[in-house]
Every structure is written in C-alpha cells, then in structure tokens.
Amino acid sequence: MPKIVDHEKQRSIVAAAAIRVIRDNGLEHATVRTIAKEAGLSVGSMRHYFATQAELFAFCMNLFAERVKQRVEALQMSGTVLENMKNLLLQFLPLDEDRKMEMEVWFSFSAKVLMYPELKKLSDQMHNGMYLSAQLVIQELREHGMAHPDLDAEIETEKLYALVDGLAIHTLMQPERLSVQRMEQVIEQHLIMLCQP
C-alpha cells in the first residue's frame, strides 16, 4: 500500500514543519500558509493531509505524547527503587534540547486547550500519563516498604504530579535559574523526603 505509507509520511513531514514554525514564531503564526511554505508544499495540497488546523495540531500533540510514552517504555529500571522512580519522573521534564523544544511547543498548545476542546482530549491523555506515573512512584515506594507510613497516597500523588509539571514549566520559563541538574536534585530530595522515617 505505497499510497497510504506516503500519505502518513507526508503527514509527518507537515507536522514536523508545523512544529518548527510554532517553536520559532509562536502558534498564532502557524497558519496553513506558513506551514505549507516550511514543508515545501503548496497551500492547496495541505488540505489533503489535514482537513483542519485543529487536526494538524492534534496530530502534533499526539506525536509528543507518543515520544514520552516510548521513552517511558524504553526505561531499563535496573537501578535502585529510588533511582528507577527518579528516572521515570525525569522523562516528563525537558532534559535536553530536543525535549525542551517539544515541551515549548506543547506548552503553546496547552494554552489553547482552554479554548479548543479538540485538543483537550490529547492534553488530558498526557496529563493522565503523568498522573499515573506519579501514582506508580508512590505505590512502588509503599510496596517496597520505603514510604513513610503516615503518607496519604492520593495527596502525595497529586503533589508529585504538580511538582513535576511545575518544574517543567519553570525550567522552560527561566532556564537560567532552574538547571537540569537542579531539577534532578529537587525530584531526588522529594523522593527521599517521602521515605523519611
């Protein structure tokens, strides 16, 4: 089915072009015209790949969500429980330039979610993924008998989830202040605190 393969490949090329435009110029400049130009396609052919702008944006968001999922699934989990849990949480943080770019664009989309219900489902999926990871971390600490016995699992899940997302946003907004190393320290210290006797 060469036609279908090409179609999917072309959609990916359009999405990659859209992501570059959004990163460099902001979401409000990501028009069909600018994205078509960046992708080296005619404006007319764009409709062939994405019927609406929202469909294109949803495709991009899904791309990011898949990357995070793949990173999480590829984790080795070969260290101590604390190391493994820290590594899991770090997958949601902009640790390198590629992820920083992904998250900057994701952040632009997120600000649209309040207005565009089409994007809300994808945003919710990513948020649920983060929430479930935070939940898993708390569960693991409990199952290994490491968590403080008085720890309220639901509250701590909510807290860990907010902490990770807050760090991600702070490092995007103020990278000069909050380094990758610092984020790692904060996560590590928090996990240690949850285990304090």
Decide: is 174 part of the binding site for a copy of itself (CB under 8 A): yes
Residues 6+ apart with CB under 8 A from 125: 65
Q: What tokens were used for 154?
A: 């639901």
Decide: is 108 part of the binding site for a copy of itself (CB under 8 A): yes
Decide: is 158 part of the binding site for a copy of itself (CB under 8 A): yes
Which residue intervals of 40-179 are DSSP H helices? 43-49, 53-73, 81-90, 97-113, 117-143, 153-173
Q: Which of 91, 135, 190, 191 binds a copy of itself (CB under 8 A)?
A: 190
Decide: is 115 part of the binding site for a copy of itself (CB under 8 A): yes
- Is residue 184 within 8 A of residue 113, CB to CB? The reply is no
Nearest CA to 10 out of 54, 52, 47 is that of 47
Instruction: Please state, in angstroms and rounded to a whole number, the distance separating the CA atoms of residues 61 and 15.
Output: 10
Which is nearer to a copy of itself, 11 or 159 (by Cβ)? 159
Q: Which of 50, 57, 92, 161 binds a copy of itself (CB under 8 A)?
A: 161
Decide: is 189 part of the binding site for a copy of itself (CB under 8 A): yes
Q: Which of 113, 136, 180, 195 binds a copy of itself (CB under 8 A)?
A: 113
Collapsing DSSP to helix, strand or coil, 50 comes out as coil
Instruction: Please state, in angstroms and rounded to a whole number, the distance separating the CA atoms of residues 51 and 11.
Output: 11
Which is nearer to a copy of itself, 41 or 103 (by Cβ)? 103
Binding-site string for a copy of itself from residue 7 to residue 26, where x marks contact by CB under 8 A and - marks none: ------------------xx
Q: Which of 114, 121, 143, 153 binds a copy of itself (CB under 8 A)?
A: 114
Distance between first and last Cα of the chain? 60
Binding site for a copy of itself (CB under 8 A): 25-28, 104, 107-108, 110-115, 123-124, 127, 148, 152, 155-156, 158-159, 161-167, 169-170, 172-174, 178, 182, 185-186, 189-190, 193, 196
